[in-house]
Amino acid sequence: MKNLNISSPKISIVIPTYNRACELDRCLDSLLKQTYKNFEVLVCDDGSTDFSKRVVDSYTDKLDLTYIYSENFGGPARPRNLGIRAAKSPYIAFLDSDDWWAPEKLSVCVEKLKNDDVDILYHDMLIASSSSIGPYKYMKAFEPRKGMFNALLTTGVSIPNSSVVVRRHLLLEVGGVSEDRTLISVEDYDTWVKVAQVTDRFVRIPLRLGFYGLGSINISSASIHQVDKINYLYAQYASSLNKWELKKSNDFLIYRNAYIYLGCGELCLAKKYFLKAIFSSISFEYRMKSIFRYLTIVFKHT
C-alpha cells in the first residue's frame, strides 16, 4: 500500500547507497513487503553514476520515499547524516542498500518500542551471498551488558548496522555519524559507542529479522587498513576510561587486531597478536578463542 499520505511516520528508514542499483532494488522491495506500513524511506545517494535513480523512481508511487543525491563523500557517514537530518519521525532505522529485511522486521521493532525503557534496539541477521536464496550463515547480535560504553570497548559486543532502530534525538545529541574519514567502515561502531555514552538502554531482539548481503564490494570487509581504523577509534575514547578499563580495552583491541589480520590473510601477524591476547586480561571466552585460532594457524599454515 502506498504511504504518501502519512504526515507523521513512526519510523524513518535511512538507506545510504553508492552504485548499487541491483542491490537497492532488492532492499526497497523488502520494504514493500513489510507488514507494518507507517514508515518513510530516505534513500541517500553518495553520488552514484549507475542507474540507482531509475530504481528509486520505480518505487516513488509505492513508498513514502525521499531521494537525496549528494556529491560523493566516499563512505556512508555523510549520506546517513543527510537522512537523519531530513527524517520526520522520532526513530531512525538504518538499512544498508545491499542488505534487506524480513517482512515482520518493523512490526516486531515497533512492538518493542512501546516500552519506554528502549532507546536503541537491534536484532540478529542472516549472512547472504549474492543471491537472495540461501543457504545463510547466522550473524548473532550480542546481548546488551551493564555499562554498554565499557562493554563496546572491552568485549565482543556486535551490533549489526542494518538491524538498528534508534531514537533520532540521541543521534542528533551525539553529533550524528562521524564524518572523520579515518573512521570510514567503522563509523557505525563509533556511533554506538557515542550513543552508549548518553544511554544504557540498549535492547537486543533475539530474532533473525534481516539479511546481510555479501554480493558486492563491502567497505567493512577485512583489510590491513582496518587495524589502523579500529586503533584510531579506540584512541578517541581512552580518556573516558579509568586505568583498569583502559587496560581491558587495550587488551581486547589486541584480540580485535588479531582477528582482522586473520581475516585479511596476514597469518604471521594474526598468530603474533592471538598469542598476545592469550596472556592478556580479556575474558576466558576470548582467551579460548585466541588459543583455538592460534593453534589453527600453527598446525594448518606452517
C-alpha cell at 205: 531482539
Burial degree of 211 (CB within 10 A; 0-12, 13-18, 19+): buried
The 10 Å CB-count burial string (b at 16+, else e) for 52-80 is beebbeebeebbbbbbbeeeebebbbbbb
CB 14 within 8 A of CB 93: yes
C-alpha cell at 198: 548518553
Q: Looking at residue 137, what is its pLDDT?
A: 82
Q: Looking at residue 105, what is its pLDDT?
A: 97
The CATH classification of domain 11-213, taken from the options 3.30.310.80, 3.90.1150.10, 3.90.550.10, 3.40.50.720: 3.90.550.10
Beta-bridge mates of residue 120 = 166, 202
Q: Looking at residue 134, what is its pLDDT?
A: 57
Return the closest-CA partner of residue 294 out of 249, 247, 269, 158: 269
Q: Looking at residue 214, what is its pLDDT?
A: 78
Q: Looking at residue 2, what is its pLDDT?
A: 45
Q: Looking at residue 7, what is its pLDDT?
A: 44
**Which residue bears the cell 594448518?**
300
Residuewise pLDDT in 10s, the chain (302 residues): 444 444 456 999 999 999 999 999 999 999 999 999 999 999 999 999 999 999 999 999 999 999 999 999 999 999 999 999 999 999 999 999 999 999 999 999 999 998 878 999 999 999 987 555 556 788 889 999 889 999 999 988 889 999 999 999 999 999 999 999 999 999 999 999 999 999 999 999 999 999 998 765 555 555 788 999 999 999 999 999 999 999 999 999 999 999 999 999 999 999 999 999 999 999 999 999 999 999 999 998 76
Return the closest-CA partner of residue 218 out of 279, 128, 116, 108: 128
- The residue ranges of every structural domain in the chain are 11-213, 224-300
CB 253 within 8 A of CB 213: no
pTM: 0.91
* Main-chain phi, psi angles of 200, to 5 degrees: -110, 10
